[in-house]
Amino acid sequence: MSGKWKQAPENTLESLRHGITHTDGIELDIRLTSDNELIIHHDSTISIPKDQLDGRSKWVESWSLDELKSEGFCSLDDLLNDSMIRKHWTENGKMVCLEFKRPHLLSPKGRRIFSKSRQISTLGTAMKTAEIKLNEEEIPNQNSVFYSFYKGMNKIIHQNSIKRNWAELMPSIPTIGTRTIKRMYAYPQYFITPFSRLLRNIESRVHRWCHVQWNIFHPFIHVHYLEEWLACKVSVENIFQDVKKECRLMFGQLNQN
């Protein structure tokens, strides 16, 4: 690869084009906008500098599709309408894994802390909308998979009659808390669980798929878990350091008060 190459910003069409061109497939994160459209965006808070918010909400789900696209983010429609992406996706047999993100509990679409119904509804709407779009564009079923870090996937899939391939990822990560807190919640499960057991657990959850489809997809799911598992093993010490820093900061603020 040329030394002049510069990595494209995340959540952009440019980055997705590069990924699907140079690999066997891409993984992207889907969120539901305020006008019930689908945007490709990982974090629950919009990935622009805070001083550019100009008083607008920081939650992605509070923005309309046009507002997010004006900031350079890519919609699922943009992905489906791009000739380069479509060629690799449909003609060259590349894989696209769509991870559906639940809204943060403090965001408008995620409120009702003591009830999960709104989050489940939001996730279900996003998946059904994505399925309709992929079907309309005749994206081969074997070239896509829907998944989420949420143990309620089975309920969502059946309530919305989703026919696309899907998988439930583990653990079911909470939508509230800092990145460090989420890691503290998830990493112990990876740290104490052998990789082979993780694979057996995920295989037991996707037995609802056709076995032929699972044989096609499982390498991609396995790679995803291997990445998470290795990241856990490598960065546990970093997590502890982050926790120490946050604790020092918290106690320092308490002492000042």
pLDDT digits (tens, 9 = 90+) for 23-80: 888 999 999 999 999 999 999 999 999 888 988 999 999 999 999 999 999 999 999 9
Q: Which domain holds residue 194?
A: 177-257
**41-69: burial string, b at 16+ Cβ within 10 Å, e else:** bebbebeeeeeeeeeeebbbbbbebebbb
Q: What's the pTM?
A: 0.73
Section 213-217 average pLDDT: 42
Instruction: Write down which residue in 157, 175, 193 finishes a domain.
Output: 175
Report whether pLDDT(211) > 50. no
Q: What is the pLDDT of residues 64-89, one digit of tens each?
A: 999 999 999 999 999 999 999 999 99
Domains: count for the chain: 2
Kindly state whether residues 35 and 161 are assigned to the same domain.
yes
Would you list the DSSP string of 150-209? -TTHHHHHHHTT--S-EEE-SS---SSS-HHHHHHHHHHHHHHS-HHHHHHHHHHHTTTS
Instruction: Write down which residue in 175, 208, 236 finishes a domain.
Output: 175
